[in-house]
Each structure stands twice: as structure tokens, then as C-alpha cells.
Amino acid sequence: MSHPLFHRGRRLRSSAQIRDMVRDTAPLLIEDLIMPYFVVETDDQSFRKEISTMPGQYQLSLGELEKQVEKAVDNGLKSVILFGIPAQKDEKASGAYAEDGIIQEAVRRLKHRWPELYVITDVCLCEYMSHGHCGILTPAGTVLNDPTLPLLAKTAVSHATAGADMVAPSDMMDGRVSAIRAALDEAGLVMTPIMSYAVKYASAFYGPFREAAESAPSCGDRKSYQMDPGNRREALIEALADVAEGADALIVKPAGPYLDILREVRDAVELPLCAYQVSGEYSMIRAAGLNGWINEEAVMLENLVAMKRAGARMLITYFSETLLEKRLVR
């Protein structure tokens, strides 16, 4: 006979059916996933280069991008986010907002082929700047905030004009959401939503991305504009500022090491929230899986479910193609 105060929690874990019925967080859905792609401006339309620090991920020409996305779409992919690698860089990030820029051309090609595919573009200048920073740089190495805003706004408008469904500024300049919203509206693009990288930490987990996007800064670091990993309350200040400036959705980046932040932002704002499982998170799981140290499928699913449990509705993850190919999402 059990004690009257004896709690039998196992009653609701005793079968797969009851576990499914009482689960707090829904399983991963196809609609949750956003797949990142790195697109290279090149005359070689067969260009396809594996990123050494991100096994299974590639830099792709426009032609190879279309082939890669075709397979993913056939497996159910509904949304992508694009990062561009231009042929030439300068100190004004001219390629970021060029009408025939690599991202603009990639958007046109994807939207022509798959009108229903939801195409998001990363709006930043680091890949296009000769110095690799996210804004205009002084000779002393200081990133200028306000003079950078018009360039970000021009970039966002050029992406939306090319057909992007959503723009996602990741630069962490103050006031960029307001500047982009005003520019989009002035251009008649009032229905283009902004998903802001509102809470973006200066993280060591971005390491592999530097190779993928060829965007490592040539001097200094990004700590003067990306957030200090030790700061919690600042995340809410940044998130609420972007809400006030007109953001339609927010991103927390990185995701796994910042689940506490993800939860706090979820509790503080009503906008849809996206978690970005960044390159370092992907590479650690993938490397451990390739070495047989972990069950890669189980770990990737557990990580992503944790992000949903913490409050994310959307998930930017390099595992999107794998999840779809292996039918690990519904």
C-alpha cells in the first residue's frame, strides 16, 4: 500500500501514448525550421565548397544553391535565410545593396523557382566590408553607428525589392530597426516584416561562421556592438527597444547557451521569437556525432526541443536539411 502523500509521477510516463498526451512542448514541426545558406558570387556555377569547420555545410554558387534548395524543398523545407559572399569587398559595403548583388540575385532565383518558399535575408555589412566589421570604420578602428544606418536601410530595401519575404538585420547597430522600417515604408514595402537579431551576444560560438561567411574582422572584435555574455537585463532592454522601433519578430543568438535569456525575452514580449542555433553549436554536435561520441540525432532533437520549451517559435538551424531528410519532424 502506498503512502497517502506518495506521488506517482510515473503514471503519466508509463506509455508512449500518455507521454504524447501530456507533453508540454510540441514536437518539432516542419514549419519551425529555417535553413541557412551561404551563397557565393562566382562565374563558376558548379562551385560547391564544404565548410571545413561545419561538416555537411557548403558555400554554394547560385546554380548549386538552387540544386541544394530543390532537394530540401522536395523534403518539405518551407523557409530559408540567405547569407552572401561577394566577389569584391570595399569600405562602403557596396555589394550589400547592389541591385545585382549576390543576395539580390539569389532571392530572385529562389522566388522565381519556388514562389511559396519563404525567403529571409540576413541584413548586415560584415561580409561586404573589406575590414569585416558590421559598420563604417574609422581609421582608428571605431565602428560608426549612425552613418552605418543608411547603408543597412538601403540593403534591406534592395533585398525586399528583389522579392525577399522578410529581412533580418543582424548588425547590432543602435536604431537600425527604426531606420529599416522607415526606408521600407517609404519604398512602398510596408508589408515586408523585420525579424531583428534583437539579442545577439558577442559569442565564441560564432567561430565556424567566420569561415562560412568569410567575415572575420581584420582588426579588433565586435564587442563594442554585440552584447556582453554576462548581461541578462540588457537583453530585455535590447528586445523592447526593437519592439518599439517596429520589429515584427525577434531573434536570440546564440540559442543553446542562452536558454535563460530566451525564456526571459519570451516572457517580456508578445512578438514571435526565433532561436538561432549558431555555427559553433552545430559544429560541436556534428563533430561529436561523426566521431561516435554521442547519438547525433537524439542530441540535435533534444537541443532544438529545449529551444522551443524555452519559448522559441522559429528555429534557425543548420540541421534543418538533416531533420527533413530523416523525417525527424512532422
Catalytic residue among 89, 154, 200, 308: 200
**DSSP characters over 241-306:** HHHHHT-SEEEEES-GGGHHHHHHHHHH--S-EEEEE-HHHHHHHHHHHHTTSS-HHHHHHHHHHH
Catalytic, out of 92, 253, 308, 326: 253
Number of H helices, E strands in the chain: 12, 12
Grid cell of 259 as nine digits: 536558454
49 is catalytic: no
Rounded distance between C-alpha atoms, residue 180 and residue 65, angstroms = 27
Residue 192 Ramachandran class (φ > 0 left, ψ -120 to 50 alpha, else beta)? beta
Per the structure block, which three cell numbers stand in for 284? 560541436
Q: Is 200 a catalytic residue?
A: yes
Cα distances (Å, whole numbers) of residue 265 to 81, 177, 313: 22, 18, 12
CA distance 194 to 258: 22
Active-site residues: which are they? Answer: 200, 253
